[in-house]
Chain A
Amino acid sequence: AQSVTQLDSHVSVSEGTPVLLRCNYSSSYSPSLFWYVQHPNKGLQLLLKYTSAATLVKGINGFEAEFKKSETSFHLTKPSAHMSDAAEYFCVVSDQQAGTALIFGKGTTLSVSS
């Protein structure tokens, strides 16, 4: 069975400092992995996706994530946080063998202070 664990429910950083949001997954097959972001009163927006191509994936707004099969991790990083990055971030796994449903982590709230 698939599952996703986001290791931090809340991360606080200062503007201009690096961001690290941690995600571990469990999947029986070759997973596809995603990071979605949700700003207040907005829909879930796709930040980036991994689907068995390059293990380092670049997304929008300067975010990137690295797929590490040996560690079953897909951590999200950004070198320098911006105030507009404050939002809820969801790590998501999908398994081609298991159908179309996306499996979400609980989410990490990112706060950015000036």
Chain B
Amino acid sequence: EPEVTQTPSHQVTQMGQEVILRCVPISNHLYFYWYRQILGQKVEFLVSFYNNEISEKSEIFDDQFSVERPDGSNFTLKIRSTKLEDSAMYFCASSVGQGARNIQYFGAGTRLSVL
């Protein structure tokens, strides 16, 4: 069964460093998403992406975050200058279409630890 793949599974970085989290969505999907879950808190929506543009973003997704689809398969989340509070599990998801009726398929997540 096709699945969303995220790498690395765990990323450790120093505060102030840039990190790039990588995702390979399911191949025929057109909509891509990033969510995060800070330890002990809810999974929160960050951003959705379609046709090489951000289609929706939350207030968490500020200027330190960016997303890109650099080639036909990868979808990346960049955090420019990491802060301690960026430590979280980051989930990538993809769907065929948009809207509530379309299932979003999730990867296993990347655990980001900022020291």
Please give the residue numbers on chain A whose beta carbons come within 8 Å of chain B beta carbons, in ascending order: 31-32, 34, 36, 41-46, 49, 51, 90, 94-96, 99-107
Write out, one digit per residue, whether chain B residues 74-98 have a CB within 8 A of any chain A CB (1) or not (0): 0000000000000000010101001
Are A44 and B48 interface neighbours, CB within 8 A? no
Q: Which of B6, B44, B56 contacts A100 (CB 8 A)?
A: B56
B43–A104 CB distance below 8 A: yes
B25 at the interface (CB under 8 A from A): no
Known: A51-B101, A96-B101, A100-B31. A43 touches B42 (CB 8 A): no
CB-based contact A100/B55 at 8 Å = yes
What is the number of residues of chain B that contact chain A, defined by CB distance less than 8 Å? 30
B42/A32 in contact, CB under 8 A:
no
| Contacts of B46-72 to chain A: CB distance below 8 A | 48, 55-56, 58
Select one of B33, B44, B103, B108 contacting A104, CB under 8 A: B44
Using Cβ atoms and an 8 Å threshold, which residues of chain B touch A103?
45
Closest to B3 in A: A43
Contact between chains at B45 and A101 (CB < 8 Å): yes
Query: For residue B104, which residues in chain A have a CB less than 8 angstroms away from its CB?
Result: 102
A31 touches B107 (CB 8 A): no
Listed residue (A31, A44, A107) with the most chain B CB atoms within 10 angstroms of its CB = A44
